[in-house]
Amino acid sequence: MLRKMHPLVEAAFEGRHRVHRLSEAADPEALLAEIGPRVRALCVGGHVSVDGALMDRLPNLELIANFGVGYDAVDAVAAHRRGIIVTNTPDVLTDEVADLALGLVLATLRKIPQADRYLRAGHWLKAPFPLTASLRGRRVGILGLGRIGRAIAHRLESFGVAIDYHGRSRRADVPYTYHDTLIGLAHAVHILIVVAPGGPETRNLVNADVLEALGPEGILINVARGTLVDEAALTAALTAGTILGAGLDVFENEPHVPADLAALDNTVLLPHVGSASEHTRAAMAQLVVDNVVSWFEGRGPLTPVAETPWRPNA
């Protein structure tokens, strides 16, 4: 374990496997040099980087078990070249993140945190809270219609809003309107929900041009990775009124949030809590454990990522 993890993961391997906790070592570099050739599996989470250079220091590494559905901090391509399997924790957090995304949509449109602060400050005694925007009559666009994107869309259907999407390709199994460019999607909708994977290919995908296309009534919601959004461009767009508001659960350099972005009142900002319920984090931790146990028992990984498909007896 490169860093401290969920207590369920911490406790699961006691008496079952030899566990080395790198972050607790007095000299992590010395420990890594000593145990590197013997390490067969890594348990990692959050934004802990696992690159090819680290893999080379672990010549017998077989498995990287990632805590989270996103694994952009792990170089899965480099792992594949070295015959290493990478796993993540899909499905068990889908509903939790989708719920939070809808919460951000409503909180940003109806200014729920701002209204709460207004009441607590005693301003209601002087005047009613100003009228807000509404979800009524709005069209919602989803960037990335994977598991979580589809769960968000399913929830939005109950609100009676039109749903559009953009991704790598059109999906034949959904009734939503497809746009072959992100700019086209942004032009067509009032609310843009970002739920695409992170990584170099999607860095700053939501840029100044996309925000301008979203327009002055537009709302940006990001529950994916902060790197997908150009934060400087977003801050400028929110300040200038290029878009109406933003609800963000993720940021480019977490846990650091730019002061000029945090100072804006047309935002709802959360400290990356999309999957952060006790129930869901326990389920994610259990899936990390189950992947490792299944691997060492010879049954293969349960949830390998696309870049490192599992081929038994290969």
Q: Which residues are catalytic?
A: 225, 254, 272
Alpha carbon distance, N-terminus to C-terminus of the chain: 27
Share of the chain above pLDDT 70, in %: 99
- The mean per-residue pLDDT over the stretch 223-241 comes to 98
pLDDT score for 115: 98
Minimal CA–CA distance to 193: which of 173, 214, 172, 175?
214
Question: 297, exposed or middle or buried, with CB in 10 Å at 0-12, 13-18, 19+?
Answer: exposed
Mean pLDDT of 194-219: 97
User: Could you tell me the pLDDT band of residue 165, with boundaries at 50, 70 and 90?
Assistant: very high
Say what the alpha-carbon torsion angle 113, 115, 117, 119 is, to the nearest 10 degrees. Answer: -150
Under DSSP, is residue 171 helix (H, G, I), strand (E, B) or coil? coil
| Cα(178)–Cα(167) distance, integer angstroms | 8
Domains of the chain, start order = 7-88+277-297 (3.40.50.720), 93-269 (3.40.50.720)
* Side-chain-facing half-sphere of 285: CA atoms under 13 Å: 17
Centre a 10 Å sphere on the Cβ of residue 275 and count the other Cβ atoms it contains: 25
Query: What confidence category does residue 154 fall into, taking pLDDT thresholds of 50, 70 and 90?
Result: very high
pLDDT digits (tens, 9 = 90+) for 180-200: 999 999 999 999 999 999 999
Model confidence over 51-64: pLDDT tens digits? 999 999 999 999 99
Question: Could you tell me which residues are beta bridge partners of residue 268?
Answer: 247
Q: What pLDDT is stored for residue 67 in this prediction?
A: 97
pLDDT, one tens digit per residue, over 264-279 is: 999 999 999 999 999 9
**For the segment 69-120, what is each residue's pLDDT rounded down to a tens digit?**
999 999 999 999 999 999 999 999 999 999 999 999 999 999 999 999 999 9
pLDDT above 90 covers a percentage of the chain that reads: 96
Q: Count Cβ atoms within 10 A of the Cβ of residue 158 and give its class: 0-12 exposed, 13-18 middle, 19 or more buried.
A: exposed
Average pLDDT for residues 23-49, to the nearest whole number?
Answer: 93
The average pLDDT across 295-299 equals 96
